[in-house]
Chain A
Amino acid sequence: MTEVVRLSNVHKWFGDNHVLKGVDLTVQKGEIVAIIGQSGSGKSTALRCMDHLEIVNEGEISVCGHTFGAGAQRKDLKQLRQDVGIVFQSYNLFPHLTVEQNITLAPRSVRKLPKAKAKEIAQQVLQEVGLADKIDFYPEQLSGGQQQRVAIARSLAMGPQLMLFDEVTSALDPQLTGEVLRVIEKLAAEGMTMVLVTHEMGFAMKVAHRIIFMHQGKIHEQGSADILRNPTTPELRQFVSNGL
């Protein structure tokens, strides 16, 4: 099994706030990992570090064969950004472009694909997320769930090896949440390596191979879905009981 992600003793400070206090984490190819925890536990920060959106202060990160460490900002991130797709809580679609243009922008500008080929890819990924008929719409005309699915399609268009999801359903109502979770489930079944930061315990238990509970900047407990049914540590027990 090849390793897709490795965090080694990662520390991150935001000013005086010690957000990640020595995180060690690996993800294997084809594995689906869910990271859960309270706000401020460092789960989003850990995820963002995987795509070099946050620069760590100590430790080393290796993602899809790219290695980066503390301090210096890497300049040659183009290949990393093609290998890793990330989807955000607030979708972040480009409002001045249609769905098709949103999706084809990166393939045309970064991978220099011709217009026709990029359009073909757009149609394929939209089919994958179930929105093929919305190709000429503007983001404003879509519901939250649809926008999030377009955001997922946009990331998929670049052919990533790893997909990161940062609380992607937190801004959606239960029905729209369901739409998005079904797409993620489908991607999981197709063998995509994924790391999800989520509050959806039920979904995490159903889809994730491994669940990681973060508490105060460290990995507190990790294991299969069983850790949520029978938590070992009191902090996780409290976290789970709060959610029910």
Chain B
Amino acid sequence: MNSDQINYLLQGAYGTLLLSVLTFVFASMLGLVIALMRVSDNTLVRQTAFGYINIIQGTPLLVLMGVCFYGPSILGYSSVPALFAAVLALTVQSSAFLGEIWRGCIESVPQNQWEAAECLGLNRVQRMFKVILPQALRIATPPTVGFMVQIVKNTSFASLVIGFAELSYNAKILNNATFKPFLYFGVAAVLYFIICYPLSWMSLRLERKLTLARS
């Protein structure tokens, strides 16, 4: 493997990393909104979020990528940047899953915590943000990090429809040219691991810090 090829793989890794980080940020924001909508008092709000989650969870990521890349042309836009389309598709898909995970975590906080907060006079927003969400955060850490790793792996779909240069695509290109699959896919696997490992490590630290705060 020469230095050009190593560079090519590293560029792919950069693409993967970029997609992952942008998706984490936007999907977290949207996922939190979805989760809060799912536990709302308002029936219409709850049903809307429920509908969104069901439709998106049932749609393959490949199809979402296609919609996000080719869809805007129906509305009159001539072209869409590959990065924008990929992040949009990944964000929409991830927010549906994260929203459900977080709804489950919010509902895991014991009911009497809601009651105690209510009896002190806190309004619904104060109860949610000062009492319930901090406790839900601790419960949410393992499944959220598990899903974050899933996001990193899902970025490989970006190359299939949209042609965004990320790690698995670049590895595939090199393999097509050199017919050394174990070498290039092997190195790609190691690079994926290097991207994912800090997530697991941060999750462990976050869990320890949140436990420490309680004891």
Interface string of A169-182 (1 = CB under 8 A from B): 00000000000000
Tell me whether A109 is interfacial, beta carbon within 8 Å. Answer: yes
Q: Is there a chain B Cβ closer than 8 Å to A81's Cβ? A: yes
- A138 contacts B214, C-beta separation under 8 Å: yes
* Contact bitstring B85-114, A, C-beta under 8 A = 1, else 0: 000000000000000000000000000110
Which residues of B lie under 8 Å from residue A53 when comparing CB positions?
115, 118-119
Whether A135 is near chain B, meaning CB under 8 Å from some CB there, is: no
Q: A154 an interface residue at 8 Å Cβ cutoff?
A: yes
Interface positions, chain B 108-162, Cβ under 8 Å from A, are 112-113, 115-123, 126, 130-131, 134-135, 138
Also in contact, A51 and B119, with CB within 8 A (given A90-B112, A92-B113): yes
Task: Tell me what chain B mostly uses at the interface: helix, strand, loop, or mixed.
Answer: helix
Q: How far is the CA of A92 from the CA of B94 in the complex (A)?
A: 34
Known: A96-B213, A138-B214, A140-B215. A109 touches B126 (CB 8 A): yes
**A138 CA / B213 CA spacing, docked (Å):** 8
With the chains together, A88 CA to B118 CA distance in Å?
13
Whether a CB of chain B sits under 8 angstroms from the CB of A86 is yes
Q: How near does chain A come to B212, taking the closest CB pair, in angstroms? A: 10
The contact string, 1 if C-beta is below 8 Å from chain A, for chain B 12-29, is 000000000000000000
Complex contacts, B117 vs chain A, CB 8 Å: 94
* Distance in angstroms between the alpha carbons of A51 and B115 in the assembled complex: 11
* B120 engages A81 (CB within 8 Å): yes
A78 in the interface, Cβ–Cβ < 8 Å? Answer: yes
- CB nearest neighbor in A for B215: A140
Query: In the bound complex, how far is the Cα of B126 from the Cα of A2, in angstroms?
Result: 34
A78 to B138, CA, bound (A): 29
Residue in contact with B119 in the complex, picked from A81, A90, A105, A138, CB distance below 8 Å: A81
A-B contact count (CB 8 A): 62
B113 touches A78 (CB 8 A): no
| Residue interface mask B62-94, A partner, CB < 8 A = 1 | 000000000000000000000000000000000
Q: Which residues of B contact A109 (CB under 8 A)?
A: 122, 126, 130
In contact, A82 and B121 (Cβ under 8 angstroms): yes
Instruction: Please state if A94 and B131 are interface contacts (CB–CB under 8 Å).
Output: yes
**Interface positions of B from 179 to 215, Cβ below 8 Å from A:** 210, 213-215
| Closest chain A residue to B114, Cβ basis | A92
Contact of A92 among B115, B126, B210, B214 (CB under 8 A): B115
List residues of chain A with CB within 8 A of the CB of B215.
138, 140-141
Q: A141–B135 Cα gap in the complex (Å)?
A: 17
Bound-complex Cα distance A110 to B116 (A): 14
* Cβ contact within 8 Å between B214 and A96: yes
Contact residue among A78, A93, A140, A141 (Cβ-Cβ distance under 8 Å from B121): A78
Q: Which chain A residues (91-141) contact chain B, with CB distance < 8 Å?
A: 92-96, 105-106, 109-110, 138, 140-141
Q: Which residues of A contact B131 (CB under 8 A)?
A: 94, 105
Q: Does A158 contact B (CB under 8 A)?
A: yes
| Closest chain B residue, CB of each to CB of A83 | B121
Q: Give Cα A92–Cα B210 distance, bound, in whole angstroms.
A: 19
State the Cβ distance, A156 to closest chain B Cβ, in Å: 11
Q: Are B126 and A96 in contact (CB-based, < 8 A)?
A: no
Contact in complex: A140, B214 (CB < 8 Å): yes
A53, A85, A93, A94: which has the most chain B beta carbons within 10 Å?
A94
Residue contacts A-B, CB under 8 angstroms, 17 given: A53-B118, A84-B119, A88-B115, A88-B116, A92-B115, A94-B113, A94-B135, A95-B135, A96-B134, A96-B210, A105-B120, A110-B121, A110-B122, A110-B126, A140-B215, A141-B215, A158-B121
Closest 3 CB pairs of A and B: A92-B116, A81-B121, A106-B120
Beyond A53-B119, A94-B117, A94-B135: 18 further Cβ-contacts under 8 Å? A78-B121, A84-B119, A88-B115, A92-B112, A92-B115, A93-B116, A94-B113, A95-B135, A96-B210, A106-B121, A109-B122, A110-B120, A110-B122, A110-B126, A138-B213, A138-B215, A140-B214, A141-B215
